[in-house]
Amino acid sequence: MPCCEGALTPAAQAALADLRGLHPPPDPGGLRLDVLAAIGLGLLLAAVTLLLRGWLARRRVSVRRAALADLAASRGLDPAARLLAQARLVARLARTLGAEGADRAAALDRLLATDFFTAGPGRALTRDLYARTVPDTEAIDAGLVRLLARVRT
């Protein structure tokens, strides 16, 4: 040190020469902001996924429950009115499942893996709705209950 050369002993000068300059403290070894941000983002995405999945599950259950409630409400009606209520229920179910189109019966059968609407009692709700005779609404009811139990939307 040029300013203090005469005032310090040679041992003190040697000790001062060995000192390092100012430097930042060492890395604490684990707290990196980019890693913490990635962990936080991952936890946020997991929470959003769980909330969305729960919301969709409740939505699915409500569609099935609403359809079963409508079906139960139609049981007290006379046969012609009951058939009409069942047909409306099937039309709403087809819209919900995306089975709209010219051949709704085939689309529903394909989506639900059945032949209820093309060859079974459900034919009365899709293709034979305006027939002169009223079909067996109990058989249609039982088939719809079985199909609605498998609906996941």
For residue range 51-85, list pLDDT tens digits in order. 999 888 776 667 788 888 888 998 888 888 888 89
Closest CA to 79 of 146, 144, 133: 133
CB 93 within 8 A of CB 64: no
Band the pLDDT of 134: cuts 50, 70, 90.
confident
The backbone region for 138, taken as left when phi is positive above 0, alpha when psi lies in -120 to 50, beta otherwise, is alpha
Please state the domain extents for the chain: 61-150
> Distance (Å, rounded) from C-alpha 7 to C-alpha 29?
43
Whether pTM exceeds 0.85: no
